[in-house]
Structure 1
Amino acid sequence: MLRVSFVSIPISDQDRSLKFYTEKLGFDVVTDQPFGNGTRWIQLRPPGAQTDVVLFTPPGQEERIGGFQSMAFTCEDVVGTCRMLKERGVEFVKDAERANWGGMEAIFKDPDGNTFVLANPNE
């Protein structure tokens, strides 16, 4: 059976991103080690998740930084999670609301301007 091991989030500053994803979003560090050319392989895991995120931008892929990311995060309570993340300083570009597909969703961004959907189809 195949599973997704990790997805990469394109970032410009690994230290700043590490601080954001651990302190503001609450992700745990799985690996933080040298990767070559002055970069590090930083692999994080959202609590309870089976898929990790990696804070790394491959050389030549810098144009991916700062756009809409084709990945979504989920939680049990989108409204409550938005409130908690806003208190931690996370910026939302779309507040929690009922989506046209029926669930609740919001959109937040990281320090590089990467935007992510936060959703729960069962709310």
Structure 2
Amino acid sequence: MDWKLELVPIPVSDVERAKRFYSEQVGFVVDHDMCIGDAARIVQLTPPGSDCSIVIGAGAGVTDVPPGSVQGLQLVVSDIAAARAQLIERGVPAGPVQHLEDGGMADGPGGAWNSFVYFSDPDGNGWALQERPVED
């Protein structure tokens, strides 16, 4: 039996602002944007090429954790420099390319699976890009 992670709730304070950020700036595809009566609004977005989506929203059933409290979300890309350039071009304040070295972060790309770029959404939910080696 497969167990697939397909949806991750992201707590936000302003659904419309978050939808614009994730779709227009980060480049996620808007899969659904629906209201369930007056009780809830649910927006599902998916990163290009991913089988896992995020959901943002307001009202009952989306998430009970405070906006900005989710950290460590990770996207894997084939070209970290190009992905960072896309974020910067779209107005996302992304950090420099870094790698783990001697127990801390150092500037510049590292070896296989060891190149990262960090950014946050407008509420402070933290994301990382990680470069996947070409041979994988």
Match of 1:61 among 61, 65, 69: 65
What's 1:118 paired with? 129
SS at match of 2:119: strand
After superposition, residues 23-62 of structure 1 pair within 5 angstroms as: 23-35=24-36, 37=38, 39-56=40-57, 58=62, 60-62=64-66
After superposition, residues 1-123 of structure 1 pair within 5 angstroms as: 1-35=2-36, 37=38, 39-56=40-57, 58=62, 60-62=64-66, 65-67=67-69, 69-92=71-94, 94-100=95-101, 102=111, 103-122=114-133
CA deviation after TM superposition for structure 1 residue 39, in Å: 3.3
Q: Deviations over 1:4-30 (max 9, x none)?
A: 110011110000000111101111111
Question: How far apart are the structure 2 equivalents of 1:56 and 1:32?
Answer: 9
TM-score by length of structure 2 reads 0.77
* Structure 2 unaligned spans of 5+: 102-109
Whether the 8 Å CA contact 2:77–2:132 is kept in 1: the answer is no
Question: How far apart are the structure 2 equivalents of 1:114 and 1:5?
Answer: 19
SS at match of 2:75: strand
- Larger mean Cα displacement after TM superposition, 79-88 or 34-43: 34-43
SS at match of 2:72: strand
Question: How far apart are the structure 2 equivalents of 1:9 and 1:22?
Answer: 14
CA deviation after TM superposition for structure 1 residue 122, in Å: 2.1
Letter in 1 for 2:9: S
Whether the 8 Å CA contact 1:98–1:104 is kept in 2: the answer is yes
CA deviation after TM superposition for structure 1 residue 95, in Å: 1.2
Letter in 1 for 2:33: D
Q: In 2 relative to 1, CA 22–50 (structure 1 residues): closer, same or farther, beyond 3 Å?
A: same
Q: Considering only aligned residues, what root-mean-square deviation do their CA atoms show, in Å? A: 2.1
Whether the 8 Å CA contact 1:91–1:110 is kept in 2: the answer is no
More strand as a share of residues: 1
